Structure 1
């Protein structure tokens, strides 16, 4: 199922991301940079079932490597230290991050050939849309 996500994806739109960053506790200066950044998302998978999601931009590159359903420690782009688990649910790649008694999720799905990432914190939802590079 993860195979359909594999590839290099270029961001074409980002909605409500500032409110999402505010909701997870990102400071003003970092939010300013985050709002201007349009990262590429590079998803790959090896023969052992390890998945790698790399977010690459001129500002910062972050990378997580994981196996589905296995919790791991993540340091996010905004420097939060989270306990993260990624699962496949109804065709969506769902990344749940928990830290300091809080939890957020990023639901990625392929819709009309685009990768749509919904960043959810409580009732705040940001939607970031990517197209596949050829």
Structure 2
């Protein structure tokens, strides 16, 4: 069985700039974000999940229980209501609701993590290698 716990380093991004632009992130921040190579750390402790994203640009952390709404700061700086559900043993689906609805799908494998984020029909896929 694939372990979700672990550390993942960004290897490749597809359409990330277009996603951030659609989200409303400004030009300077988008360019900084494109050049960053974040590490994602995932920890599951009982029914509590913690996902940390660490980079030279910005660090963020969310802690949640599946199916329970919580508030977080989105990539564009806006506060949104978020719910994360587990669709399978290897797939988490996060929905952020605010002025724009963002869906983030995290799919885990033995090799890494694929993060697919969509806003207003614009999709970005980021590939992370398990460390």
The alignment's TM-score, normalised by the length of structure 1, stands at 0.90
Alignment partners' CA distance in 1, 2:71 and 2:11 = 29
| Alignment size in residue pairs | 130
Matched, 1:44 2:43: yes
Q: How far is the alpha carbon of 1:77 from its aligned partner?
A: 3.8
> 2:32 maps to what in 1?
33
Is 1:11 the counterpart of 2:10? The answer is yes
Matches within 5 A, 1:1-134: 4-47=3-46, 49-90=47-88, 91-100=90-99, 102-111=100-109, 113-133=111-131
State how far apart, in whole Å, the 1-side matches of 2:109 and 2:64 are. 24
Residues 4 and 44 in structure 2, CA contact (< 8 A), matched pair in contact too: no
| Structure 2: distance between partners of 1:96 and 1:111 | 21
3-state DSSP class of the match of 1:79? coil
CA contact (8 A) 2:3 2:110 kept: no
Q: Which runs of 5+ in 1 are unaligned?
A: none
Structure 1 pair 28/37, CA: closer, same or farther in 2 (3 Å)?
A: same
Contact 1:60 1:77 in 2 (8 A): no
Q: TM-score, normalised by structure 2?
A: 0.92
Partner SS, residue 5 of structure 1? coil
Is the deviation greater in 72-81 or in 121-130? Answer: 72-81
d(CA) in 2 for partners of 1:130, 1:15:
12
